[in-house]
């Protein structure tokens, strides 16, 4: 059992490129922290620095109170699950799992026992003599997990472990990973670009953008109080809608062409932006009750929900609306839409940060 | 060029490259350097003193009609050998590609000559053409050609070309066949639908698509004919009769070991090095292109 | 084929058979001659069907050698050839795989310098530097020794490139997983990389064995004692007898024995052989 303390960590490559601009993060014992962000945001680099596969340019990394900056990956007592699994192709499943134990001088009998235990948990018992090439994608994924678990390390590191699976298996393995992590109680860092995976797995989320952590918090915290337009747009699917606001005399904010004032002055001079999630909008009977009138140009009935796409007067971007159940809305309809006043988000266009306004 | 994650170790990488580097320096780079140095020196008759003579050895070399003749002969020899070996192999590869049943049997029967040493290939054909016991000279005699490569320079030349080409057949065959099998079937079928017959299809579709292979093999065959055929000649005609089969590599050996003309032999070596370097660059340029395809 | 033309298919078979016959004919004739005795060949052209001296000729050549040119027994020469071929093949593979490993998996000063140095050997075949190389061997007292026969030939740019090329295709994550599993550079090489290189090593071995066995110029200049002759160069001694015809049935017996081991290697390891041939040129 272990804690991870990341303190002012920076990564600069020899060519001068700075991949990580400094990050602080404390991971509690047994916690599952998911690092999420678009590709190139530095999330994998961060994980690989924790693993010891990338050198640390600045800052300290401690595992269980020991600074491990200069420790070899093999000495850090971590295990990692790779996106492409990285199973040793010439070794049987048993040997793949046993290799790390052997290198640590674990006795033959103990290796056998440990591998058998883990194989039972992951239902790999019948596959121990197979080579990786003889396994399906899902089975390989399990072996990769088994190889990590069998070592009983202080920390698990997951580098997009589900990206190579098909959609159905991904959902299944996602749940399985969460159960396993809970059962073993091993401190874990998990990197993904998939926000659904991030939301469902994480005890805490780190949303990264361009080498910086944009926000760190519980999934629900991040969903309800996104700290920036980037976080707001990245977490949640379909993504949050952003609408331009007008600043009226007296500093009050309203949608262009609408009478209803949405908020008091934010006290700044920046261009205000309203953020509203598709699920926090509803249709109303008349245009008079509506915040915007959506001219519908596409509809996606999903069964449980219906997604309605369209445009509104005075707004540049496309607006999407999520309605429960099914609806008889047609393309070309003009749909009066009202916003849930409890779920309005305000941002400053200039810096993308959340703006504190009174509603 | 390298892995993203690498090991860092103070002395291990040097230890790992050391054997290769030591051998390269002692047996490749040092002697090559010596050849270059020798080629600008002249030693007196008793080997007591040497004199730096700039490019005199080279000037002498290229003023020597017998060297120029050898040069010319080497070029004729190399291209003849390459043409014969490649033409014959291409014919067989095209036929093998046509055949569906038994292709692998033919393949097996054609690849083993690769294993025959050039010297032994030379000896075999030397025997086949031997004026007394050779079956080919016997058959040639029947049609009125009197064959004696001990006396007739042209015949000796033809003999070494045939022997050298014979050994190269399997190599060319393997690559031509691979090249042919890589030609997309759909292209050939499209041409057939467009009404092109087998011969037309070959010249207008298959052969152009095969040109990278052909070019690559041409370079390989030229290199082979330039250097590896030393054994064919040394084991059979020994450059004779009257130097009719003396090629550059043979001359370097002969002038150095038998004639003991160190400066001249060294200058010849340097000329050969330049030829290899040019051929290697051509080959690597081509490999670059192959990657881009 | 695209269209069914029985005539063309028949023609293809005929040409193939003719081709195979042309390729095989010299070896067949050589075999016929190797089963003759001296008197059979006095009458002129060699016959097309074997004689009855097979065992006698082969036994004589293998165990006694040809007396006229005082060549050593072929068995001895074949042993030398075997030692040379194995020495060269194994030596080349060993030093090439470790230097490729260093170049791909380590970052160290002069890495590219070493790489280009190895590359240069490609441009310096023995043939172009015969005299000075001979002098080096002589100065190092390596004439007439197995070390002299093999070591100077085992530097190999081609083999190094081949392994380098292969190592570059090995997924990065394998090294990372191994490091996390606690493997250092030596362990990773032995436990992971070497087993993964098995087929490449085998294919290369086939090619290099043939290369080593068929060396001619090199043994010619570094051996002056009969006891170090290799079979491929030894044949030449029997052919080039001054002022006399070669003793053809012994020459052919020796030549066939000299080509047998590499030919068997090619035939029995055809797949690996073709792989080695093609990969070498990548």
Nearest residue of A to residue C173, measured between CA atoms: A86
- Which residues of chain C have a pLDDT value below 70? 1-4, 41-46, 68-69, 242-243, 280-282
Secondary structure class of C223 (helix, strand, coil): coil
Hey, of C36, C49, C162, C255, which one would you mutate to test binding to chain B, going by the most B CBs within 10 A of its CB? C255
Domain assignment of residue C91, yes or no: yes
Q: Does B231 touch chain C (CB under 8 A)?
A: yes
Contact in structure between A111 and A102 (CB atoms under 8 Å): yes
Task: Tell me what the mean pLDDT of segment A59-67 comes to.
Answer: 92
Q: According to the model, what pLDDT value does residue B282 have?
A: 81
Residues of the domain holding B179: 64-290
Contact B110, C19 (CB under 8 A): yes
B171 found inside a domain: yes
* Candidates C173, C181, C191; nearest CB to A74: C181
Specify if C96 maps to a domain. yes
Residue B6 lies in a domain: no
Nearest to B17 among C2, C102, C282 (CB): C102
Determine whether the interchain pair A86/C179 forms a contact, defined as Cβ–Cβ distance below 8 Å: no
Distance in Å, alpha carbon of C178 to nearest chain A alpha carbon: 8
3-state secondary structure chain A: CCCEEEEEEEEECCCCCEEEEEEEEEECCCCEEEEECCCCCCHHHHHHHHHCCCCCCEEEEEECCEECCCCCHHHCCEEEECCCCCCCCCCCHHHHHHHHHHHCCCCHHHHHHHHHHHHHHCCCHHHCCCCHHHCCHHHHHHHHHHHHHHCCCCEEEEECCCCCCCHHHHHHHHHHHHHHHHHHCCEEEEEECCHHHHHHHCCEEEEEECCEEEEEECHHHHHHCCCEHHHHHHCCCCCCEEEECEECHHHCEECCCCCCEEECCCCCCCCEEEEECHHHEEECCCHHHCCEEEEEEEEEECCCEEEEEEEECCCCCCEEEEEECCCCCCCCCEEEEEECHHHCEEEECCCCEECCCCC
CB-CB neighbors (< 8 A) of C267 in chain B:
108, 112
Mutate to test the interface with A, among C166, C178, C182 (most CBs of A within 10 A): C182
d(CA A155, CA A77) in angstroms, rounded, equals 7
Domain hosting residue C76, numbered range: 67-281
pLDDT digits over A177-213, tens only?
999 999 999 999 999 999 899 999 999 999 999 999 9
Residue A269's pLDDT is: 64
In degrees rounded to 5, what are phi and psi of residue A352? 75, 0
Cis peptide preceding A238, ω within 30 of 0:
yes
- Residue C243: predicted pLDDT: 67
For the packed helices C54-63 and C248-268, what is the interaxial angle rounded to 10 degrees? 90
Closest-approach residue (CA) in chain A for C176: A53
**Which segments of C181-269 does DSSP mark as H helices, in order?**
185-188, 194-196, 198-213, 217-222, 231-239, 248-268
Q: Token match 């990692």: residue?
A: A80
pLDDT of residue B292: 30
A64: pLDDT strictly greater than 80: yes
Is the minimum CB–CB distance between B282 and chain C shorter than 8 Å? Answer: no
Which residue in chain C is spatially nearest to A54 when comparing CA positions? C176
Tell me the torsion sign for CA atoms C184, C188, C189, C191.
positive
pLDDT digits (tens, 9 = 90+) for B97-147: 887 777 788 888 888 888 899 999 999 998 888 888 888 888 888 888 888
Among the ranges A100-104, B236-240, C10-14, which has the highest mean pLDDT value?
A100-104
Please tell me if residue C38 touches chain B, with a CB cutoff of 8 Å. no
Model confidence at B215: pLDDT above 70: yes
Q: What is the pLDDT of residue C46?
A: 67
Q: Which chain A residues have any C-beta within 8 angstroms of a chain C C-beta? A: 48, 51-53, 72-75, 78-80, 82-90, 99-100, 103-104, 147, 151
Q: CB–CB of C177 and A78 under 8 A?
A: no
Chain B nearest-CA residue for C259 = B116
Chain C positions in Cβ-Cβ contact with residue A75 (cut-off 8 Å)? 182
Are the beta carbons of C23 and B96 closer than 8 angstroms? no
Residues of C in contact with A53 (CB under 8 A): 176, 179-180
Token pair recorded at residue A288:
């008079």
Query: Is B21 within the bounds of a domain?
Result: no
Q: Considering chain B, what is the average pLDDT of its residues? A: 84
Rounded to the nearest angstrom, the gap between the alpha carbon of residue C187 and the centroid of all alpha carbons in its chain is 32
- pLDDT confidence of residue B291: 36
In a domain, C45, yes or no: no
**Which residues does chain B have within 8 Å of residue C44's beta carbon, measured at their own beta carbons?**
132-133, 138
Contact status of C132 with chain A (Cβ, < 8 Å):
no
Q: Identify the helix (H) or strand (E) that includes residue B124.
A: helix B118-128
Exposure string (b/e) for C64-77, b if CB count within 10 Å is 16 or more?
ebbeebebbbbebb
**What is the structure's pLDDT at B293?**
31
pLDDT band at B41, cuts 50/70/90?
A: confident
CA A161 from centroid of its chain's CA atoms = 13
User: What does the pLDDT look like over B140-184, one tens digit per residue?
Assistant: 888 888 888 788 888 899 999 999 999 999 899 988 988 888 888
Answer whether B140 touches C (CB < 8 Å): no
pLDDT at residue B32 tops 60 = yes
Q: Closest partner residue to C151 among B2, B21, B23, by Cβ?
A: B23
Q: pLDDT of B249-289, one tens digit each?
A: 888 888 877 777 777 788 888 888 888 888 888 877 765 44
Q: Is residue C186 part of a domain?
A: yes
A82 to C177: CB separation less than 8 angstroms, yes or no: yes
Identify whether B24 is part of a domain. Answer: no
Q: Is C196 on the interface with A (CB under 8 A)?
A: yes
Q: What is the pLDDT of residue A115?
A: 94
Q: Is residue C49 part of a domain?
A: no
Cβ-Cβ contacts under 8 Å between A and C: the total is 62
Is the pLDDT assigned to residue A49 strictly greater than 70?
yes
pLDDT of residue C281: 59
Q: How much of chain B, in percent, has pLDDT values that exceed 90?
A: 21
Residue B8 lies inside a defined structural domain of this protein: no
Q: Could you tell me which chains touch chain C, where touching means 3 or more CB pairs under 8 A?
A: A, B
Whether residue C171 lies within 8 A of chain A, CB to CB, comes out as: yes
> Which CATH number characterizes residue B181's domain?
1.10.3720.10
Q: Given this model, what pLDDT does residue C221 score?
A: 87
Domain tally for chain B?
1
pLDDT above 70 as % of chain B:
93
Q: How many CB atoms lie under 10 A from the CB of residue A153?
A: 20
Residue C12 domain-assigned? Answer: no
pLDDT in the model for residue B290: 45
Cβ atoms within 10 A of the Cβ of B268, count? 29
Number of compact structural domains in chain C = 1
For the segment A120-172, what is each residue's pLDDT rounded down to a tens digit?
988 898 999 999 999 998 899 999 999 999 989 999 999 999 988 888 888 98
pLDDT tens, residue by residue, A285-335: 887 888 888 999 999 998 889 999 999 887 888 999 999 888 888 888 888
CA dist list (Å): A277 to A273, A282, A307, A359, B268: 13, 11, 12, 17, 82
pTM, rounded to two decimals: 0.84
Is residue A102 over pLDDT 80? yes
Query: Residue C81: what pLDDT?
Result: 93
Min Cα–Cα distance to chain B from C240, Å: 7
Provide the pLDDT for residue C72: 81
CATH number reported for the structural domain that contains residue C83 in this entry: 1.10.3720.10
Q: Is residue C109 part of a domain?
A: yes
Interface TM-score (ipTM) > 0.90 = no
pLDDT digits (tens, 9 = 90+) for A230-271: 999 999 888 999 988 887 777 778 887 776 667 766 566 677
């Amino acid at each position: 059992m272990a804690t991870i303390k990341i303190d002012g960590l920076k990564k600069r490559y020899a060519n001068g490129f700075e991949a990580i601009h400094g990050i602080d993060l404390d991971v509690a014992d047994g916690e599952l922290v998911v690092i999420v962000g678009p590709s190139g945001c530095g999330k994998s680099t961060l994980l690989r620095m924790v693993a010891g596969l990338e050198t640390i340019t600045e800052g300290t990394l401690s595992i269980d109170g020991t600074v491990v900056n200069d420790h070899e990956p093999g000495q850090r007592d971590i295990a990692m699950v790779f996106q492409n699994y990285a199973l040793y192709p010439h070794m049987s499943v048993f040997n793949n799992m046993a290799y790390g134990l052997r290198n640590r001088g674990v006795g033959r009998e103990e290796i056998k026992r440990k591998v058998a235990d883990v194989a039972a948990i992951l239902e790999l018992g019948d596959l121990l003599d197979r080579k990786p090439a003889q396994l399906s994608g899902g089975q390989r994924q399990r072996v990769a997990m088994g190889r990590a678990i069998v070592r009983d390390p202080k920390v698990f590191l997951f580098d997009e472990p589900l990206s190579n699976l098909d959609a159905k298996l991904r959902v299944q393995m996602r749940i399985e990973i969460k159960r396993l992590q809970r059962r073993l109680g091993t401190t874990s860092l998990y990197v993904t670009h998939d926000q659904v995976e991030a939301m469902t797995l994480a005890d805490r989320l780190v949303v990264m953008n361009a080498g910086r952590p944009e926000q760190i918090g519980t999934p629900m915290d991040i969903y309800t109080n996104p700290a920036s337009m980037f976080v707001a747009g990245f977490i949640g699917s379909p993504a949050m809608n952003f609408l331009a606001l007008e600043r009226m005399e007296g500093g009050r904010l309203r949608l262009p062409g609408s009478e209803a004032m949405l908020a008091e002055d934010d006290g700044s001079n920046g261009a205000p932006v309203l953020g509203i999630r598709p699920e926090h909008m509803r249709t109303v009977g008349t245009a008079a009750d509506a915040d915007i009138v959506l001219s519908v140009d596409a509809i996606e009935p999903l069964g449980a929900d219906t997604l309605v796409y369209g445009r509104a007067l005075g707004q540049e971007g496309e607006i999407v609306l999520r309605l429960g159940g099914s609806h008889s809305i047609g393309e070309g309809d003009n749909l009066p839409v009202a916003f849930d006043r409890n779920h309005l988000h305000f941002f400053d266009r200039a810096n993308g940060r959340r703006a504190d306004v009174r509603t | 060029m390298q892995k993203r994650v690498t090991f860092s170790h103070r002395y291990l990488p040097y230890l790992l490259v050391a054997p290769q580097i030591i051998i390269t320096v002692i047996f490749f780079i040092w002697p090559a350097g010596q050849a270059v140095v020798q080629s600008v020196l002249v030693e007196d008759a008793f080997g007591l003193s040497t004199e730096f003579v700039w490019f005199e050895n080279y000037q002498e070399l290229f003023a020597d009609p017998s060297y120029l003749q050898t040069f010319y002969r080497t070029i004729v020899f190399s291209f003849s050998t390459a043409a014969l070996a490649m033409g014959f192999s291409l014919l067989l590869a095209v036929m093998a590609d046509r055949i569906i049943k038994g292709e692998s049997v033919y393949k097996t029967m054609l690849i083993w000559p690769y294993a025959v040493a050039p010297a032994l290939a030379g000896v075999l054909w030397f025997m086949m053409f031997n004026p007394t016991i050779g079956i080919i000279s016997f058959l040639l005699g029947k049609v009125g050609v009197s064959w004696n490569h001990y006396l007739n320079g042209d015949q000796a030349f033809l003999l070494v070309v045939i022997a050298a080409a014979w050994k190269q057949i399997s190599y060319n065959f393997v690559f031509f066949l691979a090249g042919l099998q890589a030609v997309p079937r759909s292209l050939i079928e499209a041409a057939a639908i467009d009404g092109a017959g087998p011969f037309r299809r070959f010249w207008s579709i298959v052969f152009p698509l095969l040109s990278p292979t052909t070019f690559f093999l041409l370079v390989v065959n030229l290199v082979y004919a330039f250097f590896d055929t030393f054994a064919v000649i040394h084991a059979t005609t020994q450059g004779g009769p009257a130097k009719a089969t003396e090629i550059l590599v043979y001359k370097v050996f002969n002038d150095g070991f038998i004639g003991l003309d160190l400066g001249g032999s060294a200058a010849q070596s340097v000329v050969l090095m330049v030829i290899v370097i040019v051929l290697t660059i051509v080959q690597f340029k081509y490999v670059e292109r192959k990657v881009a395809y | 084929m695209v269209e069914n033309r029985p005539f063309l298919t028949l023609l293809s078979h005929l040409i193939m058979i003719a081709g195979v016959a042309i390729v095989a004919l010299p070896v067949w004739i050589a075999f016929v001659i190797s089963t003759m005795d001296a008197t059979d060949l006095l009458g002129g052209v060699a016959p097309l069907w074997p004689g009855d001296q097979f065992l006698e000729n082969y036994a004589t050549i293998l165990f006694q050698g040809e007396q006229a040119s005082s060549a050593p027994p072929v068995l001895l020469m074949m042993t030398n050839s075997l030692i040379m071929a194995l020495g060269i093949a194994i030596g080349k593979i060993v030093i090439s795989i470790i230097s490729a490993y260093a170049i791909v998996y380590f970052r160290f000063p002069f890495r590219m310098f070493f790489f280009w140095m190895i590359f240069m050997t490609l441009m310096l075949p023995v043939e172009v530097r015969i005299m000075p190389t001979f002098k080096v061997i002589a100065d190092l007292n390596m004439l007439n020794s197995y070390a002299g026969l093999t070591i100077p030939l085992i530097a190999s740019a081609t083999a190094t490139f081949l392994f380098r090329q292969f190592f570059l295709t090995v997924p990065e994550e394998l090294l990372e997983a191994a490091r996390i599993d606690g493997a250092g550079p030596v362990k990773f090489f032995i436990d992971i990389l070497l087993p993964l290189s098995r087929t490449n090593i085998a294919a290369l071995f086939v090619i290099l064995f043939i290369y080593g066995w068929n060396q001619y110029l090199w043994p010619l200049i570094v051996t002056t004692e009969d006891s170090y002759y290799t079979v491929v160069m030894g044949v030449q001694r029997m052919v080039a007898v001054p002022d006399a015809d070669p003793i053809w049935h012994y020459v052919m017996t020796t030549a066939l024995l000299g080509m047998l081991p590499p030919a068997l290697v090619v035939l029995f390891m055809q797949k690996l052989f073709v792989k080695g041939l093609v990969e070498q040129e990548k």
